[in-house]
Chains A and B, each alone.
Chain A
Amino acid sequence: MKKLIAVLCCSFLFSGSLFAAPAKFPSKQITVVVGYSAGGTSDTVTRFIAKEMEAELGVPIIVTNKPGGSSAVAFEYLASRKADGYTLMYVPVENAMVKPLGFTKLEPKDIRYIGRAMTLPATVTVNANSPFKTFADLVKYAKNNPGKLKVGNSGTGSIWHFAAVGIERAADVKFNHVPFDSGTAAATAVMGGHVDIATVAPGEVKAGVESGKLRVLAIVDNQRSSLYPKVPSFKDLKLNVEIMGWGAFAVPLKTPEEIVQILEAAYKKAVESQAFKDLCVKYGLTPAYLSAADAQKFANEQAQWYQEQIPSLNLR
C-alpha cells in the first residue's frame, strides 16, 4: 500500500512538470550589468531605465556594477552568461572600441542589442577667463600655434580623446592631448587653468559653467545641447564630426527571438517615457531611441569605424 502511494505521489509530481505550460518570460529577477562604478552617468541612466522596465515586465530588475577596462570586464561577463534573457548589460560607445584598443577579443556583433537609448555629445569647454570667446578664436590661435593648446580628455583611447582628435581633423589644427582619469577630472583641470580646453560631456562641465568658471564654445554634434541652448553646434559652425558617446542595452548573442522581442518592447517603452526624457535634459544627454535591429547595425558600423581609426592614432 505504502509503495502504491509512493508511486502515485511520484507520478503526480512528474505529471506536474509534464503538463505545465512553458514558463512565461520573464518569471524571475533580471540583472543588468554596468561596466562602471556606482554613481556615474552610465550607472544612473541604467538604474533609471531598469526601474522603468521593471514596471513594464513585472519582475524585479537589479543593477550590478562590474567596473573595469572601459566596460570590457562587463562585456566578457555578459557574453559568457546563459542566453535566457535574464542577464542584460548597459553597453556604452566603448563597446565598439574595446577590441581595437586590445582590451578584449569581443566586439558588438558578439552580443545581441535590444535597443539604443541616447547619445551624448562632446563639448569644447574653456576656462571662463580664457581669451577664446568663440570656437573661431580658438581655431585661429591653434592654427598659428600648432601643438600649443593643452586639451584635457578622459583618458587615452577614450571617447573624449577621439572627440578631440575629430576636432583636430575637422578644423585642421594640432593639439597637445592630456589624458585624465575621468571627464570630470579634465573639466576640473580646465577650471584650475592647468589645461586650456576640455572635450568632455555637457553634464561633466555643468557645475563649472553654472558657477561661472567655465565657458562652452561649441557642441560637437549636429544639434545644440539642451543644457546650453545658446552654444552653437558643430553643424552651426559648418563642421562635421560624427563622434559621440551613446548608451544601449544588450543581451547574450543566442537569446531566443521571442525573449528579445519582449525585452525590446519594454526597453522602448522605458526610454520613450517622459520621465527618461526629463532625466536626459538634466544630464545633457540626447534621447535617441533605436530599435534592436537598428541599434545592432549602428553598433556594428561604429565598431568598424573605430577598428579603422584606432590604429591611426598610434597609441603605442
Chain B
Amino acid sequence: MEWVSAFIGVLHPQVFFYLIVGVVSGALIGTLPGLTATMGVAVLTPISFWLEPACGFAMLIGVYNAAIWSGGISAILINTPGTPASMASTFDGYSLSQKGMARLALNINTVFSALGGVFSSFCLIFFAFPLADFALRFGPAEYAVVAFFGLTMMAAVSGDKPVKGLLVGFVGLLISTIGLDAIHAFKRYTFDYPMLLDGISFVPVMIGLFGIGEILFQVYTNRKDEKAEIVSIEKSNKSFLNFKELKQVFPFNIFASIISVIIGVIPGAGGDIASIISWGQCKRMSKHKSEYGKGSIEGLSVSCTSNNAVIGGAMTTMLSLGIPGDAVTAILIGSLMMYGMTPGPQMFVENKPFVMTLIAQLIIANIVICIFGLLTSKIYPKILRIKKETLWVSVTMCCFLGSFAINNSYMDIIAMAIAGILGFILKKMDFPAGPLVLGLLLGRLLEANLRRTLAITMGSYSPFFTNPICIVLLSVSIISLIVPAIVKHIKAMHNQNKQ
C-alpha cells in the first residue's frame, strides 16, 4: 500500500512535470560529448533547492538516468561517448549505425538502458542492506583486484589485434601515472605545472580519442563519392529485435545487470568500469564472439543495460550507508543533506516514505526514458543526413566545449586535442583505441590500491591470496586469460589431427 502511494505521489502532476524536465535536460546533457551526468546533476542541484524535495529530486533523478542513457546516442551516431559510461556502446553501436541500422541501435540503447535501470531499482528495493554490507567488504586489496580484473578486458576490447591492443593499453597505463602519486603525493611528470598535479583527466582523453580521432579519420578518408553513403544511412527499416534475437540476448543482459549492480554498489566504481567489464565478460561467454565490436546486437544491448544498471547499485550504497557509490551520488548526498535528511540506514526508518518516493522516481524515470527514447529515435538519425562538413565542425565544437566545461581547465582542452590526434594515428595504423582508455581509467585505481594494501600490511601480499573476494576475482581473471588460449591450442591440434 505504501508503495502504491509512493508511485501515485510521483505521478502527481507537479512532481511528474519536474521528472520530465529532468529527463529532457538529461537527454540533452548526455548527448553532448563532455557534458556528463555528474555535471548535469551538479548544475541543476542549486536549482532543485527552490523546489519541494520530491520535485527537486524528481528532476535530479531524471537528469541522472537520462544522461547515462543518452550518452549512448552520441556513442552510436558519432562514435563519441556522451558520458564515460557509454564508452562501451561505441564498440558495437557505431558499427551498427554505419551499417545503416542507426535506428535499431538507438532503440536497443533505449530499451535496454531502461530495463537495466528498472532491474537495478528492484535490486535496491529487495537487497539494499545485504548489498551495502557487501560493498563495505571492499577494501584496498579488493579494489586492486577489481582494477586488475578490468584490465584483463584489454584483450577483449582489442578485437582481433591483441598485441597492438596491449601496446596501446600500456600507453594508457603510463599516462595514468602523470600527477601526484596517490600514496606519497610525489609529483610525477608534472613539470611544476599545477594543472598536471591531478593527472590527465579521463573524459577529455576519451572524447578526443573517439570523437576527434573519428572526425580526423573521416576527413582524411573523405572522397567525393559520398552520395552513396547517404543512401545507406537508412538502409534498414528494422526498428527492433525480433523474438529470436531477444531470446539470444536476454541471458547476457541479466548477467550484465547483476555485474553492474554489484559494481555500482562498490563506492568509487561507476558505469564506465561496469559497462566495459560486462561487455568484455559477455564477449568471452558468447557464441558469437567474432561479432563483438563489429556491430553485435548482443554487445550493444549488454553495454547499454549495464551503464544504467549501475545507477540502482550506486543509489543503494548512497541510501543505505550514506557513502557515495559514484560521482553523481556524491552530489545527491549533498542535496539530501540540504533537505535535512541524512542518507544512511536510519533514513529508511525516519524518512521511509521519501526513500520509497526516490525508488518510485527511479523506476518511473526509466519508463519515461523508454517512451521518450522510442518516440525520438526516428529523429536522431537525421543528424547523420546533415552535410558531413557541418557535422564535423559541430561535433568538434562540442568536444572542445565539453572538455573545458569539466574542470574549467585549458589543460583538458590540450589533453583532448592531443588525444584526438593520437586517436587518428591509432585508427590510421589500425590500432584499437579502447585499451588506452581502459588503461587510463584503471591504472590509478590499480596502482593506488595495490600500494595502499602494501602500506596496510607493511609490505605483505597475503591479502590477495587470503581474502575471499580477491581469491574469486583473481581466479576468474586468470582463468579467463588462460582458457581461451588453451581452447585455441586444442582446436588447432584437433584440426591438425584431422588433416
Contact = CB atoms under 8 A, between A and B. Distances in A.
B183 A72 contact: no
A184 B197 CA distance: 21
A70 B136 CA distance: 27
Contact of B185 (A47, A65, A178, A315): A315
Contacts of A189: 139-140
A213 B129 CA distance: 13
A184 B408 contact: no
B46 A47 contact: yes
A84 B39 CA distance: 29
Interface string A35-79: 001111001100100000000000000001111111011011000
Given A150-B456, A206-B322, A39 B45 contact: yes
Contacts of A195: 456
A265 B381 CA distance: 56
A156 B185 CA distance: 6
Nearest to B337: A282
Given A176-B456, A178-B455, A65 B346 contact: no
Contact of A65 (B342, B408, B452): B408
Interface in B290-336: 321-324, 327, 330-331, 333-334
Contact of B407 (A66, A193, A213): A66
A72 B409 CA distance: 13
Interface residues on B, range: 35 or more
Contacts of B343: 207
B137 to A, nearest CB: 6
A72 B324 CA distance: 25
B160 interface: no
A157 B180 CA distance: 11
A73 B194 contact: yes
Contacts of A156: 183-185
A316 B46 contact: no
Nearest to A158: B185
Contacts of A206: 322, 342
Contact of A178 (B46, B198, B333, B452): B452
Contact of B408 (A66, A76, A212, A282): A66
A302 interface: no
A211 B133 CA distance: 12
Contacts of B375: none
Interface string B180-217: 10111111000000110110000000000000000000
B345 interface: yes
A304 interface: no
B407 A185 contact: no
A64 B408 contact: yes
B268 interface: yes
Contacts, number: 135
Given A68-B198, A69-B194, A72-B197, A211 B186 contact: no
A122 B338 CA distance: 22
Interface string B10-41: 00000000000000000000000000001100
Given A39-B331, A179-B183, A76 B139 contact: no
B344 interface: yes
A248 interface: no
Interface stretch (A1-9, A101-109, A250-258): A101-109
Contacts of B187: 102-103
A40 B38 CA distance: 13
B42 interface: yes
A75 to B, nearest CB: 8
Interface string A171-195: 0000011111100110111011111
A189 B407 CA distance: 28
B331 A103 contact: no
Contact of A207 (B137, B198, B342): B342
Contacts of B45: 38-39
B137 A179 contact: no
Contact of A38 (B42, B194, B340): B42
Contacts of B182: 155, 179, 181
Interface in A198-234: 206-208, 210-213
A44 B184 contact: no
Contacts of B194: 68-69, 72-73, 75-76, 103-104
15 contacts: A39-B327, A64-B408, A65-B408, A72-B197, A73-B194, A156-B183, A176-B455, A188-B136, A206-B322, A207-B342, A208-B321, A208-B344, A211-B345, A282-B337, A315-B184
Given A43-B334, A180-B452, A208-B322, 20 more contacts: A37-B407, A38-B331, A44-B334, A66-B409, A103-B194, A177-B455, A179-B183, A185-B267, A185-B268, A188-B321, A188-B323, A193-B139, A207-B323, A207-B342, A210-B345, A212-B345, A282-B337, A282-B340, A315-B185, A315-B186
Q: Which 10 A-B pairs have the closest CB atoms?
A: A207-B322, A69-B197, A194-B139, A39-B331, A38-B42, A192-B136, A156-B185, A207-B344, A211-B345, A211-B344
